[in-house]
């Protein structure tokens, strides 16, 4: 995010307070952030607040109409921005954008820019459901410049329960990162991507299990990246915390626990998928017997009999059609290349992601990652340490290059 240029337009609505978290997070990550407030937005959050959080002066219509710039302010800002975010998007601003109207700094800057624009509406449910608003919302999405974060459901500021809540920062921030990478391309439109994520658990009794430290963050990042690029995504997940799944509103998610359950769901979904990415950390063994009641400590065996679990990716490789792409992961310590190559060849994968788990800020449970991508031709591409969402986009780029 260092030095990336993000322009944020703030509309008049109580949800403007959420934008403070977006601006602060981006600025702390090293991005250059500038903010435009409409006149009505200033009634909810002051320009001083956004200036403090962004480390730049916040722009308003007062500065727009003052002849104090060498070049028109809306031209300067429009040319500067790599990504333009408008949040909260009001019904008024939506109507102006739909019909190409420009009567303030925000709307003039939209017309003076060519970067992708992310729209995050927020309004009362009855306002959102008006035919005119829905017509404008559908119409603006026919313009490829515009990307959307649909409003969610819940208790609104007016005490109404319904649709109209602005998307949370946890949903907006990944979309911004994706737009910076793709420049607004929807290059996976029509692709069906099936992803497994998280760590399976093999239970000995109702409270004890064999598992691993996987949190599923890498699989979630892959699902988000694919969705943001236009794909139809199914995420089969095990042992992922609900807060990580909350932003995945437009992704089909299927929860499983054991390797056998994941095997069944992956097999059922496999034939409909174009790309299959096995990012889950699947157990290798399970307890041979299962007790339906919790075992007393004295009854625990000194030696736990173990049985192998299904090799999901090996089975899927036997079902793979020529037009499908099957990608595996290999979490390794020490030499990560040799075992990954062996797994790639033995399981007849199209590519494998060799992931070091013994390096700082890499592997299980953290927000960063690094890897070596190896495809079936033997090509090796090092992906340097970065966020898991950034790595996910690089992996998707590389999968597209597999012939």
Phi, psi of 363 (to 5 degrees): 95, -140
Burial of 159 per CB tally in 10 Å (0-12, 13-18, 19+):
exposed
CA dist list (Å): 363 to 279, 369, 378, 387: 11, 6, 23, 11
Strand, helix or coil for residue 325: strand
- Residue 36 is labelled as binding a ligand: no
Mapped onto helix, strand or coil, the DSSP state of residue 393 is helix
The reply, when asked if residue 313 is annotated as ligand binding, is: yes
Phi, psi of 80, rounded to the nearest 5 degrees: -75, -35
End-to-end CA distance of the chain: 31
Q: Name the residue among 301, 200, 314, 210 with its Cα closest to residue 260.
A: 200
Helix (H) or strand (E) segment spanning residue 400: helix 388-400
DSSP state of 297: G
Q: Is 336 annotated as a binding residue?
A: no
Q: Answer for the pair 259, 309: CB distance below 8 angstroms, yes or no.
A: yes
What's the burial of 402, exposed, middle or buried (CB within 10 Å: 0-12/13-18/19+)?
Answer: middle
Q: Residue 311 annotated as binding? A: yes
Q: Is 233 annotated as a binding residue?
A: no
Q: How far apart are CA 191 and CA 101, in angstroms?
A: 35
In whole angstroms, what is the distance from residue 149 CA to residue 166 CA?
8
User: Catalytic: 158?
Assistant: yes
DSSP secondary structure of 7-66? EEEE-SSTTHHHHHHHHHHHHHTT-EEEEEE-TTGGGTS-HHHHHHHHTSPPB-HHHHTS
| Distance from C-alpha of 30 to C-alpha of 177, rounded to nearest angstrom | 13
As a whole number of angstroms, the distance between CA 92 and CA 86 comes to: 12
Name 159's Cβ contacts closer than 8 Å, sequence gap at least 6: none
Among 20, 115, 158, 269, which one carries the catalytic annotation?
158
Q: Is 310 annotated as a binding residue?
A: yes
Q: Is 367 marked as binding a ligand?
A: no
The candidate with the shortest Cα–Cα distance to 198, out of 214, 220, 213, 210, is: 214
What is the helix, strand, coil percentage profile of the chain, to 5?
35, 25, 40
347 is an annotated ligand-binding site residue: yes
Please check if 191 is assigned to a binding site: no
Q: Detail the residues annotated as belonging to a binding site for CTP.
A: 284, 294, 310-313, 329, 343, 347
Residue positions forming the annotated binding site: 284, 294, 310-313, 329, 343, 347
Active site residues: 158
């Amino acid at each position: 995010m260092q030095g990336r240029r993000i322009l944020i337009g703030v509309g008049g609505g109580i949800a403007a307070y959420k934008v403070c978290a977006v601006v602060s997070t981006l600025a702390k990550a090293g991005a250059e952030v500038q903010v435009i407030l409409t006149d009505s937005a200033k009634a909810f959050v002051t320009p001083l607040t956004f200036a403090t959080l962004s480390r730049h002066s916040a722009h308003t219509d007062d500065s727009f109409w003052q002849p104090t710039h060498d070049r028109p302010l809306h031209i300067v800002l429009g040319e500067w921005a790599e990504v333009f975010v408008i949040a909260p998007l009001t019904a008024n601003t939506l109507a102006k954008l739909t019909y190409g109207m420009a009567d303030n700094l925000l709307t003039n800057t939209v017309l003076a820019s060519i970067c992708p624009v992310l729209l995050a509406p927020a309004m009362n449910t009855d306002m959102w459901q008006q035919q005119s608003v829905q017509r404008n919302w559908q119409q603006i999405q026919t313009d490829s410049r515009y990307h959307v974060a649909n409003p969610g459901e819940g208790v609104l500021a007016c005490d109404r329960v319904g649709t109209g809540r602005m998307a949370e920062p946890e949903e907006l921030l990944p979309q911004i990162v994706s737009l910076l990478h793709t420049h607004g391309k929807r290059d996976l439109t029509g692709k069906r991507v099936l992803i497994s994520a998280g760590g399976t658990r093999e239970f000995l009794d109702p409270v004890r299990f064999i598992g691993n430290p996987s949190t599923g963050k890498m699989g979630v990042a892959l699902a988000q990246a694919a969705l943001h690029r236009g794909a139809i995504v199914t995420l089969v997940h095990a042992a992922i915390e609900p807060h990580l799944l909350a932003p995945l509103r437009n992704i089909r998610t299927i929860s499983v626990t054991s390797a056998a359950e994941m095997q069944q769901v992956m097999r059922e979904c496999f034939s409909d998928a174009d790309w299959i990415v096995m990012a889950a950390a699947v157990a290798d063994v399970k307890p041979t017997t299962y007790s339906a009641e919790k075992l007393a400590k004295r009854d625990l065996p000194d030696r736990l009999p173990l049985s192998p679990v299904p090799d999901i990716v090996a089975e899927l490789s036997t079902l793979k059609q020529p037009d499908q792409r099957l990608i595996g992961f290999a979490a390794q310590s020490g030499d990560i290349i040799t075992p990954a190559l062996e797994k790639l060849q033995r399981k007849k994968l199209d590519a494998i992601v060799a992931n070091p788990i013994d390096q700082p800020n890499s592997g299980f449970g953290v927000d960063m990652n690094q890897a070596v991508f190896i495809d079936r031709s033997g090509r090796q591409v090092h992906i340097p340490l970065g966020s898991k969402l950034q790595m996910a986009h690089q992996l998707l780029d590389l999968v597209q290059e597999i012939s």
